[in-house]
A = this chain, B = another copy of it.
Amino acid sequence: MANSGKKKATIYDLSVLSGSSPSTVSAVLNGTWRKRRIKESTAELIRSLAETHQYTANRQARGLRSSRSGLVGLLLPVHDNRYFSSLAQTFEAHVRSKGQCPIVVSASRDPEEERKTAETLISYSIDELFICGATDPDGVHEVCEAAGLKHINIDLPGTKVPSVISDNFEGGRLLTEAIIRHFPTDRPLQPRDLYLFGGRNDHASHERIRGFRAVKKELLRDDPDECIQPTGYAANNARKAFDAFYSRHGKLPRGLFVNSSINFEGLLRFMAEHPHDNFTDLVVGCYDYDPFASFLPFPVIMIRQNVEGMIAKAFEVIEQPRAAPRIHLVEPELVPPRTALTGPLDALKDIDLPRGRP
């Protein structure tokens, strides 16, 4: 505790030490000093003092004055999912590269919580907000708009500001077609063999379902309503739906379109309860690539959304002053079974194989 109790150094401390005024110190340390015609030698002195005293600016003070904080927010539905966590990872890298500080918060897909969370972030004077997968993007928009906060939608679109989302119709088509074609031609899939589970009353689900139905009608010649089961985004609700189907038909459908990897976890829960069924005739197509899911013992075809592309596009669009509230589509990618793709973590450096190869 030698000098640890000391408060952090301020520009006033440095101004006393350097014999200059606080405003001079401030200018030197925030880079505006040339504009203020501060002598090089004065700047040098102050910089070295700042160095030795470990000065760092108090961002609350700076933010209060400038009504900017350097914080950039990402509002997520949840953290605990590879799709959203890779979004967070990618978002963070982008924000850090701009010299700002990312602040990632989840709001559980609850419209009320989304708005409250946005309010909270606004009260910290965040500079921009990326609204990702919100259940009520326009509700969050109201809050942002009232505070004059730049914002943009990702993953699920709103109608008031631009949105960057996946082409879910095309993704749904791709995935459905891949499921159907994965079955041998001598035992082709029948329309009632292919079900869709999971998702909700949101834009992404609608589009995926639209793609699903379009391809079914096209390739299987029929598209019964009963095959669409938007059971929400909870794993357990999906599990219950699988249970219900199973107890009615004594088996699962041969082809499954699972609307999100969280729903897929519901399928796992179902399977854990039925360890003696071997699901040999099952093909699963699932939105949101997960490397482990891709290697499950039955064919799992996945869609990987272009996270890097979406984030990059969102950063590009949010900078445009008065961009029209249009939807920017980013194409997702079909991932065949047993595929191990690289992700945002591969960009990080690790130790250099200390003894991987002697």
How far, in Å, is A264 (CB) from chain B's closest CB? Answer: 8
Give A59-84 interface residues, CB cut-off 8 Å to B: 59-61, 63-64, 69, 71, 78-82, 84
Give A321-358 interface residues, CB cut-off 8 Å to B: 338-340, 342-346, 348-351, 353-357
Instruction: Give chain B residues whose Cβ lies under 8 Å from the Cβ of A124.
Output: 59-60, 69, 71, 101
Q: Assembly of this chain: how many copies?
A: 2
Closest to A143 in B: B54
Query: How far, in angstroms, from A146 to B124 measured CA to CA in the complex?
Result: 24
Stretch in contact with the other chain, from A177-185, A226-234, A311-319: A226-234
| Cβ-based interface call for A109 (8 A) | yes
Give A65-123 interface residues, CB cut-off 8 Å to B: 69, 71, 78-82, 84-86, 88-89, 92, 101-106, 108-110, 119-123
How far, in Å, is A168 (CB) from chain B's closest CB? Answer: 19
Closest to A58 in B: B123
Count residues of A near B (Cβ-Cβ below 8 Å): 96
Q: Are A125 and B58 neighbours in the complex by a CB distance under 8 Å?
A: yes
Stretch in contact with the other chain, from A12-20, A151-159, A249-257, A290-298: A290-298
Residues 235-256 of A, flagged 1 when their CB comes within 8 A of B and 0 if not, give 1110011001000000000000
Query: Which residues of chain A have a CB within 8 Å of any CB of chain B?
Result: 3-8, 54, 56-61, 63-64, 69, 71, 78-82, 84-86, 88-89, 92, 101-106, 108-110, 119-125, 145-148, 200-201, 229-237, 240-241, 244, 261-262, 264-265, 268-269, 271-272, 275, 290-297, 338-340, 342-346, 348-351, 353-357
